[in-house]
Chains A and B, each alone.
Chain A
Amino acid sequence: MQPADLPQAKVSIQDLSLQYADGTESLRGISFDIPANQITVLFGPAGGGKSTLLRCLNRLNDLTEVKKLDGKILIEGENILDPKTDVIALRRRVGMVFARPVVLPFSIRSNLTYGLELAGERRKSRLTEAVERSLSQAALWEEVKDRLDDPAIALSGGQQQRLCLARVLALQPAIILLDEPTSGLDPISTGKVEASLQELKKTYTVVLVPHSVQQAARTADFAAFFLQGELVEYAHGEEAFTNPKDQRTEDYVTGRFG
């Protein structure tokens, strides 16, 4: 199932199954590798289990009621589903951007330094440096550099989403998960976010759930097609959209359903 020449794996998912407390089987025996320094796209119709998978990768599902969770997720060889894993450290290593921007009720600056302060960083110079670096990486620095102390919630939707991305980048994680990060944004902001992602993959491993097939095709280095909790196809981005092997993938990318 894996594309033949997959670069070195950063994350290896092995036979992962998840069932929520209400009995919904959201993931069924998923196995695939996510390569380092690439954009891996998880796409497919709603309810396919894409968000559920992302929330396993940083163990955010610990906080929802899950009945059954089997399989392994190896990040750099270490099984993060092991109960002994330091979940807090994991979440710093695996950052997440949500569909709706969730700026915290603080200033722009504090939104960025919050994660670092939680991690115990006290040095002013480090914090200041992180603010500028992460905002530049998220293509937001020019727009907000003169009002870092304004409430973050006063930013526009597109700016808020880039702030959320910057907030994750401030922690310098190894992996960035993005769950439909541009679903509420206008085309221009969407373009900016997509451009940052191309930049970011040089340093980070990026896992993106796009909000449309077009975005999937535009951004994917590798693409995994999810349907009702199953991984149907996993291929090079190009191939998945122009020459899919599975009939169901083809039906979806050509717009016959979904």
Chain B
Amino acid sequence: MKKSLTWREYVITRAIKVSGYSAIVFVGLIFFFLLREGLPVFGEVPISTLFNTRWYPIEEYYGILPLITGSLIVTIGAALVAIPFGIGTAVYIAEVSPRWMREVLKPLVELLGGLPSVVLGFLGILVLSPYLRVLLDLPTGLSALAGALLLGGIAIPTIVSIAEDALDAVPRSYREGAWALGATRWQTIWRVTFPAAKSGVLTAIMLGVGRAIGETMTVMMVTGNAPVLAILPGSILSPVRTMTATIAAEMGEVASGSVHYHVLFFIGMVLFLISLIVNIAASSVVFRSKKRAERILS
């Protein structure tokens, strides 16, 4: 009896350990594969060509700068849309709306979060971009702006859902404490509830924006896919092409092992690096405030 118990315990601990380690192994393998396929690019294409402004693989122009700026402009645009709206909505649901409204809105937002992004891309092509074209009098509505708006839309449900959970977890007694001191509802939200939920809200933003950075399908459908350097503020209105869209669009057509193939993997490496940096930056902020909170609570 005793023996079988310890044996079971042993198996279960091992199984959990294996699944834990396997996650690390998979990430390691992906990273290794990326490096193996991407690194040869340095022997094949001069660095000056790689970090150039012209992307035209058929004539061996492999400048990835337009793709990077394309990704940046779309992602930053998306963040500018998603953060204020997402947090505003979360505050409304958690702090302002009556209970029945909350019970309708919360599941609805979560449902939106599960919408396949290709469906949103479809709406983007059929509704959003023609509308933008007419409204702003553009040659084409398929632009960075359309991509940013849609990506923002994709990030909003994630942000709302997680930020709302964080705000809701702030004890009611905090709010009553502030109200009893003569704080208005808004002052309570801004000075008490929000700071108390800060690390949760930051996590919400990171996960939401992270989803926007990695998104492929929607941006491929609505950004116009022109690999043009987008540095001027005005380029938000012109077609751009992101790194993810480039990989998705071209990977199917390159010969395995060719220069173009290696460059695509190199783009993958750059993407990997960017999301790594963003994640580290975010978790260091969240982690710092966690540690402070832990110190305070001990």
Name the B residues within 8 Å of A118 (CB-CB).
181-184, 187
Q: How far is the CA of A95 from the CA of B296 in the complex (A)?
A: 26
Q: How far is the CA of A92 from the CA of B178 in the complex (A)?
A: 11
Q: How far is the CA of A104 from the CA of B173 in the complex (A)?
A: 10
Q: How far is the CA of A100 from the CA of B177 in the complex (A)?
A: 10
The reply to whether A96 and B180 form a contact with Cβ atoms under 8 Å apart is yes
The reply to whether A171 and B181 form a contact with Cβ atoms under 8 Å apart is yes
Name the B residues within 8 Å of A154 (CB-CB).
296
B 259-279 contacts with A by CB, 8 A: none
Most buried by A among B176, B181, B191, B196: B181
Task: Tell me if B's interface is mostly helix, strand, loop or mixed.
Answer: helix
Q: How far is the CA of A115 from the CA of B192 in the complex (A)?
A: 12
The reply to whether A60 and B173 form a contact with Cβ atoms under 8 Å apart is no
Q: How far is the CA of A212 from the CA of B174 in the complex (A)?
A: 25
CB proximity of A175 to chain B, nearest CB, Å: 12
Interface size class of A (residues with CB under 8 A): 20 to 34
Task: Report the nearest B residue to A100, measured CB to CB.
Answer: B173
Pick the residue among B184, B192, B297 that contacts A104 (CB under 8 A): B192
Knowing A151-B296, A153-B297 touch, does A102 contact B174 (C-beta < 8 A)?
A: yes
Residue-wise, chain B 161-205 has the 8 Å CB interface mask toward A (1 for contact) of 000000000010111111111111001000110011000000000
The reply to whether B181 and A167 form a contact with Cβ atoms under 8 Å apart is yes
The reply to whether B179 and A105 form a contact with Cβ atoms under 8 Å apart is no
Interface size class of B (residues with CB under 8 A): 20 to 34
The reply to whether A63 and B179 form a contact with Cβ atoms under 8 Å apart is yes
CB proximity of B58 to chain A, nearest CB, Å: 59
Name the A residues within 8 Å of B173 (CB-CB).
98, 100, 102
The reply to whether B176 and A98 form a contact with Cβ atoms under 8 Å apart is yes
CB proximity of B273 to chain A, nearest CB, Å: 36
Q: How far is the CA of A100 from the CA of B184 in the complex (A)?
A: 22
Q: List 28 A-B contacts (CB under 8 A).
A: A60-B176, A60-B180, A63-B176, A63-B179, A88-B183, A89-B182, A91-B179, A91-B180, A92-B182, A95-B181, A98-B180, A100-B173, A102-B176, A102-B177, A104-B174, A104-B177, A105-B174, A105-B296, A115-B182, A118-B181, A118-B183, A118-B184, A118-B187, A151-B295, A153-B296, A153-B297, A154-B296, A168-B181
The 8 closest A-B pairs by CB, nearest first: A102-B177, A115-B181, A92-B182, A96-B180, A91-B182, A102-B173, A151-B296, A153-B296
What 8 new A-B contacts, CB under 8 Å, besides A96-B180, A105-B174? Answer: A60-B179, A60-B180, A98-B176, A102-B176, A104-B177, A114-B181, A118-B181, A167-B181
